[in-house]
Amino acid sequence: MSDKQIAVDGISKGFGALSVVDQVSFDVRDGEFVAIVGPSGCGKSTLLNIIAGFERPDRGAVWIDGVKVASPSRNGIMISQHGSVFPWLTVQDNVMFGLTGTDQSERMALAHRYIEMVGLSGFEKAYPHELSGGMLKRVELARAFVVKPEILYMDEPFSALDALMSLRMQSELRRILEEERHTVLLITHDVEEAIFLADRILVLSPRPTTIQTRFQVDLPHPRKLSDPKAQSLREDILKELGL
Amino acid sequence: MRQIDSKLMRVLPPALLIALLTAIWWIVVANSDSPIFPTPGQVASGAWALAQDGTLWQHIEASLFRVEIGFGLAFLVAVPLGLWMGWVSSAFFTLNPLFQMLRPISPIAWIPVAILWFGVGDFSPIFLIFISSVFPMMVQTTMGVRTIDRRYLRAAANFGVSRWVLFRRVVIPAVLPEIIVGMRIGLGVAWLVVVAAEMIALNSGLGYLIMDSRNAGNRYDLVIASMIIIGVIGLLLDGATRLLEGLDTVKWRYVR
């Protein structure tokens, strides 16, 4: 066994005559944060859905810890743009949704810890419709972190938030990842978000999507986007995207 | 202060409208000196007399009882069946065409069949209420399940919960608002139909009261009084079902 946790091996996917993903292969190491950047409509989400097990590839396969992916698993939790916090459950019940185990007080304590970690103490009994978009994201993060998945799949997680809140959530996510080690696969169209968060950035081509370029981000955290190195990296990535 | 004002503004205009219509009715009838059609005053005193000797309450009770049983049975059948049809595609494709064909048949058309099967006792109107309210509730529940936002089902699948947990904590609560809408529609139809059903035979209920008042010497004051009472009770029934919309677990569906 090597140290690669996710192995994406030549996956292709089409819908009818339309080829969306074409022969994509890459590896993600345990604990690595990989961002995938691409133009909108290029099949980024399809790619991530295949890796997370929600969709089947037409060809190729995804291996996680050496096991072929056939269905979604609680080992890899998806966080998507529009969120999937259950509106009929309180914050606390949402966070406890994925928790198994019979000891109620233990589950409560775990939920409490993660609610605190995402900064939502005092909102345990609130319903999602009483919360702001940023707070909903925090609930979703807590619900994912609490089951201790090895992998987080993030599909444009903060793009429905306003610019300020998006930046705030990025640094919150970075802070939590310092405490809790996870492998993260992030899909985004926000180049700066990718540079701020990721260890490695893959740039996708337009549809049918392939990996066009790979960038290593060798900058210490917390990163500053005003850093000249970050700026030149940004220029390079934007050039790849045709801008 | 402003809150009181806004409450007042919601009650005052409809009250004024009703008062205005009553006044017009009174003036028109008084000026036409129709021997049969009553003034609002005659309607009120007719209703008062009925309320005093207790027959009005007996009729209301009889109608409500039939609605309770018929609607209750329909609910017990419609919700499980609707959940099943919404969840299992083969059940939907098998049963839906049949139900869609039965649904547009007016409950009134079932009256002869009901009399044949159940005679003229309480069972006929109960059956008619059942027939009329079971379909809207079932269709609403089925559609509710079939339109559950996929991201919630995906999230549940992601956490690998059991089918039972999925059903109890995701499917049922997601459909609950639709079920409540179905209940409102079903109860509304049930109340419409009980009155129609009671006009046929029987000797109790608000529908019977209307026909009996007309047949027993053109007591149109009681006919109109019964109509108004039916309207008010219908409003109260709907208001009672709407209270369900205030439940914490369904509020999300009604707030924007």
Q: How far is A209 from chain B (nearest CA, A)?
A: 24
Question: Could you tell me the residue range of the domain that residue B184 belongs to?
Answer: 53-254
Residues A104 and A167 grouped into a single domain: no
Largest separation between any pair of C-alpha atoms in chain B: 76
Q: Which residues 45-74 on chain A approach chain B with CB closer than 8 angstroms?
A: 52, 54, 71-74
b/e map of A64-83 (b: 16 or more CB within 10 Å)?
beeeebeebbbbbbbbbeeb
A206: domain CATH number is: 3.40.50.300
User: Min CA distance, B256 vs chain A (Å)?
Assistant: 8
> A165 with A227, same domain?
yes
Give A-chain residues touching B249 at CB under 8 angstroms: 88-89
Q: Among residues 21-50 of chain B, which lie with CB inside 8 Å of chain A? A: none
Contacts made by residues A21-24, CB under 8 angstroms, sequence distance 24+ = A21/A46, A21/A47, A21/A50, A21/A57, A21/A208, A21/A209, A22/A208, A22/A209, A22/A210, A23/A60, A23/A210, A24/A60, A24/A209, A24/A210, A24/A211
* pLDDT in 10s for each residue of chain A, 243 residues: 457 789 999 999 998 888 889 999 999 999 999 999 988 777 888 999 999 999 999 999 999 998 999 999 999 999 988 889 999 999 999 999 988 877 888 899 999 999 998 889 999 999 999 998 889 999 999 999 999 999 999 999 998 888 888 998 999 899 989 888 899 999 998 999 999 999 999 999 888 888 889 999 988 888 888 888 889 999 999 998 888
Question: What total number of domains does chain B contain?
Answer: 1
Whether A84 maps to a domain, the answer reads no
- Mind listing the pLDDT tens digit for each residue in A113-168? 999 988 899 999 999 999 988 899 999 999 999 999 999 999 999 988 888 889 98
Cα→Cα distances B14→B11, B17, B41, Å: 6, 5, 20
Q: Are residues A115 and A225 in the same domain?
A: no
Q: Which residues of B123-139 are buried (b: 16+ CB within 10 A; e: fewer)?
A: bbbbbbbbbbbbbbbbb
B176 and A88 within 8 Å at the Cβ level: the answer is yes
Does B16 map to a domain?
no
> Is residue B37, in this structure, part of any structural domain at all?
no
Angle A45-A222-A139 from CA coordinates, rounded to 5°:
50
Q: What pLDDT sits at residue B2? A: 60
Instruction: Please indicate, yes or no, whether residues A231 and A166 belong to a single structural domain of this protein.
Output: yes
Q: Are residues A168 and A142 in the same domain?
A: no
Instruction: Please name which of A44, A62, A11 lies closest in space to residue A203, comparing C-alpha atoms.
Output: A44
Q: Which of residues 120-159 of B touch A (CB under 8 A)?
A: 151-152, 154-159
| Residue B238: per-residue pLDDT | 93
Residue A117 covered by a domain = yes
Domain assignment of residue A66, yes or no? yes
Is A132 near chain B, with CB under 8 Å?
no
Count contacts between A and B (CB, < 8 Å): 58
CB < 8 Å to B159, chain A = 74, 77, 97-98, 147
In a domain, B141, yes or no: yes
Question: In which band, very low, low, confident or very high, does the pLDDT at B256 lie, cut at 50, 70 and 90?
Answer: low
* Nearest-angstrom CA–CA distance, A5 and A12: 20
Domain-embedded: residue A81 = no
Please say if the pLDDT value at position B99 is more than 90. Answer: yes
- What is the DSSP track for A108-141? HHHHHHHHHHTT-TT-TT--GGGS-HHHHHHHHH
Structural domain of A134:
89-148
Structural domain count of chain A: 2
Q: Which two tokens stand for residue A164?
A: 């300020």
Question: Is A69 among the domain residues?
Answer: yes
Chain B contact present for A77, CB below 8 A: yes
Angle at B127 (CA atoms; ends B126, B133), nearest 5 degrees: 90
Q: Count the helices and strands in chain B (H runs, E runs).
A: 12, 0
Question: B151 and A127: CB-CB below 8 Å?
Answer: no
Are A189 and A235 in the same domain? Answer: yes
Please report how many Cα atoms fall inside a 13 Å half-sphere around the Cα of residue A54, on the Cβ side: 24
| Alpha carbon of B134: minimum distance to chain A alpha carbons (Å) | 26
Task: Give helix A133-145 / helix A163-179 axis angle, nearest 10°.
Answer: 20
Return the CATH number at B188: 1.10.3720.10
